[in-house]
């Protein structure tokens, strides 16, 4: 019965023995070791057991957030929400997934700068009235009995002591804090991943390009970005003005996300991105380009200082290397896109876009001036 034990151990032609043993083929060994009464009907079954092993068919699974590795990579990063269970379905024609984001980027940027031009017009128009309102308020405060420990008065005093840039970014910081709190609501996780993370493999492509600019999952990520924004707010608003800064900041968030889309489609590394880093890189690059001799320092190492120009070169070099080498802790394509947009805007974009806003402002002025007369009658 030695042949039975040998068969039960599963030593077939492809398992340990090779295609032949001792110069004999598989069929010859089988004929020698098998008793004559088992030849015939059982012979074929014996050959199939020993020479006909087949591998189980592989299951076809939908693609995860990357081509096999990004799910693990994003899981290791504390800056990204836990989306390892989220399944994305990239388009079979990935270049087509960039068409809608491209039109959205161009359209949103145009609307942002157009709205900023109208906003500036309205601000200039109401500045005189605000001046007289301020004089009246100061006079009323002088004759009104003052209350000790008035909380509202302390808030107004703190607000008035802020620079124009700090007052401008206060709303941006408040929006980021609100979205950060929404990430902590378990019932909103799917909605937050859908609309507040940008991913070219997602079904929603356009609105996350803007909303993800205000979205942070990590407290450290948000704190670092908001600190940099607060630190550079006075300089960037002095350079561009309040209205132009808001247009540049919002456009930078959308443009940097579009560059991120292009990078992910080109490399096939699909995955979610979020954070204000792309827009803040635009602010940082614009200030460093405009004031390259300014001195900067790292918050944890204040004893080491360097020029703004050298800092910008180092950041661009690091993000370029990260994009080429496939580093996944940050979205280096979004960082690089934001930095290049900031450099381009302060060098050429201000002259090409903001200096040519007069036709739009004239149209708006005519609408504001002649609009009420068309609706009313004359006696």
Query: 59 CB contacts (<8 Å, ≥6 apart)?
Result: none
- Angle (CA) 167 172 174, round 5°: 95
3-class SS letters over the chain: CHHHHHHHCCCCCCCCCCCEECCEEHHHHHHHHCCHHHCCHHHHHHHHHHHCCCCCCCCCCCCCCCCCCHHHHHHHCCCCCCCCCCCCCCCCCHHHHHHHHHHHHHHHHHHHHHHHHHHHHHHHHHHHHHHHHHHHHHHHHHHCCCCCCCHHHHHHHHHHHCCHHHHHHHHHHHHHHHHHHHCCCHHHHHHHHHHCCECCCCCCCCHHHHHHHHCCCCHHHHHHHHHHHHHHHHHHHHHHCHHHHHHHHHHHHHHHHHHHHHHHHHHCCCCCECCCHHHHHHHHHHHHHHCCCCEEEECCEEEEEEEHHHHHHHHHHHHHHHHHHCCCCCCHHHHHHHHHHHHHHHHHHHHHCHHHCHHHHHHHHHHHHHHHHHHCCCC
- The CA dihedral of 243, 244, 247, 252, to the nearest 10 degrees, is -140
Catalytic residues: 277, 335
């Amino acid at each position: 019965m030695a042949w039975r034990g040998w068969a039960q151990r599963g030593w077939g032609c492809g398992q340990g023995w090779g295609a032949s043993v001792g110069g004999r083929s598989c069929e010859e060994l089988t004929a020698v070791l098998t008793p004559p009464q088992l030849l015939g009907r059982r012979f074929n079954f014996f050959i199939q057991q020993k020479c006909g092993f087949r591998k189980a068919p592989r299951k076809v699974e939908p693609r995860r957030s990357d081509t096999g590795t990004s799910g693990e990579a994003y899981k290791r990063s504390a800056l990204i929400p836990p989306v390892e269970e989220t399944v994305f379905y990239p388009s079979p024609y990935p270049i087509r997934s960039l068409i809608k984001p491209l039109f959205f980027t161009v359209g949103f940027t145009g609307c942002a700068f157009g709205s900023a031009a109208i906003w500036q017009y309205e601000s200039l128009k109401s500045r005189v009235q605000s001046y007289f309102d301020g004089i009246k308020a100061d006079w009323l405060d002088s004759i009104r009995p003052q209350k000790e420990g008035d909380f509202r008065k302390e808030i107004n005093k703190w607000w008035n002591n802020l620079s124009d840039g700090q007052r401008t970014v206060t709303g941006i910081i408040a929006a980021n804090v609100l979205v950060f709190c929404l990430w902590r609501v378990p019932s909103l996780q799917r909605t937050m991943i859908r609309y507040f993370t940008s991913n070219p493999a997602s079904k929603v492509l356009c609105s996350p390009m803007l909303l993800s600019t205000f979205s942070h999952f990590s407290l450290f990520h948000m704190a670092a970005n908001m600190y940099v924004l607060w630190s550079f707010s006075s300089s960037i608003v002095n350079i561009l003005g309040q209205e132009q800064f808001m247009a540049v900041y919002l456009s930078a968030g959308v443009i940097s996300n579009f560059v991120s889309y292009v990078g992910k489609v080109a490399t096939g590394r699909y995955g979610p991105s979020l954070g204000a880093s792309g827009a803040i890189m635009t602010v940082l690059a614009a200030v460093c380009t405009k004031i390259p001799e300014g001195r900067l320092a790292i918050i944890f190492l204040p004893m080491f200082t360097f020029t703004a120009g050298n800092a910008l070169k180092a950041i661009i070099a690091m993000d370029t290397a990260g994009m080429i080498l496939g580093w996944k802790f940050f979205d280096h394509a979004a960082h690089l896109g934001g930095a290049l947009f900031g450099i381009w805007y302060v060098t050429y974009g201000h002259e090409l876009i903001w200096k040519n806003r007069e036709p739009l402002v004239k149209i708006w002025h005519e609408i504001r001036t002649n609009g009420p007369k068309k609706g009313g009658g004359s006696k």
